[in-house]
Structure 1
Amino acid sequence: MPVIVAANPKGGSGKSTTCIVLGTTLAAQGASVRIIDADPQRTLGRWGEGSSAFREIVVTPTSGEDLTVLIDRLQSRFQFVFIDVQGTANQEMVAAMSRADLVLIPMQAKTADAEVATRAIGLLRTQENLFKRSIPHAIVFIRTSPIIVTREEKEIRTNIETAGVPRFVASLNERTAFSHIFAYKQSLGELNSKDTNGLQAAQQNAVELTAEMVQLLRKQLVATA
């Protein structure tokens, strides 16, 4: 059962949004999912205190709990385990990377974010050397315009491609619905279209990103079989 880690040293990079969108989309499709909130900000933990039918998918480690043990326990019981980590090279990062089948690096298509994402990849390379194994990873662009691709975004995408860094084709667009997930502590499917503009487009966006991630994991499974 795959373990997916969302990591980026930059605060507000979209790690929690990426985890909750992917996790709740999979859960709504019938998959068994758990999301470990290992980020001290506890953004997902607070979301799990709401009334969503999927609130139980969020797991907050108890004080002093060994993250590796928690990951192994959940991985044996659920189809997908996501981990939202702080992003810095701390104990939680090492534990998460030691079990990762895929590392997602969320970032905005901005030059400053691209520089920070480079540090995230550097941290990942350090963990690869530590564990003596390749750790599959990919950049996920977030808060992109669904209508206009800016010159800056085009340049960043080209630079990432030239550097040979894997990235998702789908992005998480700038949508009110992705903010309302946390404002109302609900999944996309539970939000009300009367309160949330562009909800259907956001749901389709989430389905496309989730499908691409599942396909990537399947390819990795075939490659390692």
Structure 2
Amino acid sequence: MPVIVAANPKGGSGKSTTSIILGTTLAAQGATVRVIDADPQRTLARWAEGESKFREIVVTPSQAEDLPLLIDRLQSQFQFVFIDVQGTANQEMVAAMSRADLVLIPMQAKTADAEVATRAIGLLRSQENLFKRKIPHAIVFMRTSPIITTREEKEIRLNIEAAGVPRFVSSLNERTAFSHIFAYKRSLSELNPKETNGLEAAQQNAVSLTAEMVQILRKQMEAVA
């Protein structure tokens, strides 16, 4: 079963948002999912303190079980295991990369974020050298406009393509619903459309990104087979 890691050295890049949106979308579709909150900020652990019916998908590592053992145990029990890690090259990052079937690099379509994302890819390359294997990865653009693509975003996309860095076609747009997930500690499917503008569009956005991720994982499995 696949292990998906969300990693970026920049705080607030969207790692937790990406992890919980993908995790809860898959869970709502009937998949068995666990999301390991290995980031000291514990954003997802706080989300799980709410009343969401999906709150049990979030797991926090304990001192009694180190991260590699936790990943291995959950991977044997659940269809998808996500890991939200701190961006720096620490023990948790190494442990997560050692088990990763796909690394997601969330970033905004901004020049400053692109420079930080380059460091994230550098960290990934160092882990590839350490473990002597290729680690599939892709950039996920965050907080993009669903209406207008800025010139800066177009240039960044072209630069990423020229550099041969994989990226998702789907982006997570700037949507009120994505911030309301944490404000109300609920999944998209549990938010109230009377309180959250554009909820249906946000749900469609999440489904598109999730479907693309699943397709990437399927292609990897077929290539191995």
Q: TM-score range by the shorter chain?
A: over 0.9
The CA deviation string for residues 62-116 of structure 1, in whole angstroms up to 9 with x for no partner, is: 1353100000000000000000000110000000000000000000000000000
Q: Match of 2:107, as an amino acid?
A: M
Aligned length: 225
Return the alpha-carbon distance in structure 2 between the equivalents of residues 73 and 192 of structure 1. Answer: 35
The CA deviation string for residues 25-84 of structure 1, in whole angstroms up to 9 with x for no partner, is: 000000000000000000000001110000000000113531000000000000000000
- The correspondence of residues 1-225 of structure 1 with structure 2, limited to 5 A, is 1-63=1-63, 65-225=65-225
TM-score normalised over the length of structure 2: 0.99
List, as ranges, runs of 4+ consecutive aligned residues in structure 1 with deviation greater than 6 Å. none
Change (3 A) 1:99 1:47: same
Return the alpha-carbon distance in structure 2 between the equivalents of residues 133 and 13 of structure 1. Answer: 26
Return the alpha-carbon distance in structure 2 between the equivalents of residues 78 and 88 of structure 1. Answer: 27
The CA deviation string for residues 100-145 of structure 1, in whole angstroms up to 9 with x for no partner, is: 0000000000000000000000000000000000000000000000
Give RMSD over aligned pairs.
0.5
Q: Match of 1:66, as an amino acid?
A: D
Return the alpha-carbon distance in structure 1 between the equivalents of residues 66 and 210 of structure 2. Answer: 29
Runs (5+) with no aligned partner, structure 2: none
Return the alpha-carbon distance in structure 1 between the equivalents of residues 194 and 114 of structure 2. Answer: 36
Return the alpha-carbon distance in structure 1 between the equivalents of residues 166 and 54 of structure 2. Answer: 30
Return the alpha-carbon distance in structure 2 between the equivalents of residues 40 and 118 of structure 1. Answer: 23
Give aligned-pair identity as a percent.
86
Q: Match of 2:66, as an amino acid?
A: D
Return the alpha-carbon distance in structure 2 between the equivalents of residues 183 and 33 of structure 1. Answer: 22
Return the alpha-carbon distance in structure 1 between the equivalents of residues 61 and 163 of structure 2. Answer: 36
Return the alpha-carbon distance in structure 2 between the equivalents of residues 134 and 61 of structure 1. Answer: 26
TM-score normalised over the length of structure 1: 0.99
Q: Match of 1:138, as an amino acid?
A: A
Provide the secondary structure at the position in 1 that maps to 2:177: helix
Return the alpha-carbon distance in structure 2 between the equivalents of residues 178 and 137 of structure 1. Answer: 23
The CA deviation string for residues 192-217 of structure 1, in whole angstroms up to 9 with x for no partner, is: 00000000000000000000000000
Q: Match of 1:15, as an amino acid?
A: K
Runs (5+) with no aligned partner, structure 1: none
Q: Match of 1:55, as an amino acid?
A: R
Q: Match of 1:165, as an amino acid?
A: V
Return the alpha-carbon distance in structure 2 between the equivalents of residues 135 and 144 of structure 1. Answer: 26
Q: Greater shift after overlay, 2-11 or 56-65?
A: 56-65
